[in-house]
Amino acid sequence: EAHWTECAPIRHVFTHFDLRMQVFAVRHRLVQSLEGYHHLALDELDAAAIPSLMQKIIASAFDSLKSA
């Protein structure tokens, strides 16, 4: 059971198209490591090489969860 928060929509322009994405975020106490995936702690995000689209998604989620 979780409470999803609707975040600010994302707009990202690629060379040949304009992407618009609706983002939702959730707080969850239990984080389960999944084989084949790489997990980062929140304090590691600033030093990670993350594509600009993902940076926008993360920022939208953080902003929404801070104000919720």
Nearest partner of 21 among 51, 60, 49, judged by Cα:
60
Give pLDDT, residue 42. 81
DSSP 18: E
CB 42 within 8 A of CB 48: no
Q: Residue 51: what pLDDT?
A: 93
Which parts of the chain register pLDDT below 50? none
pLDDT at residue 52 in the model: 93
3-state secondary structure of 24: strand
CA 23 – CA 66 distance, rounded (Å): 15
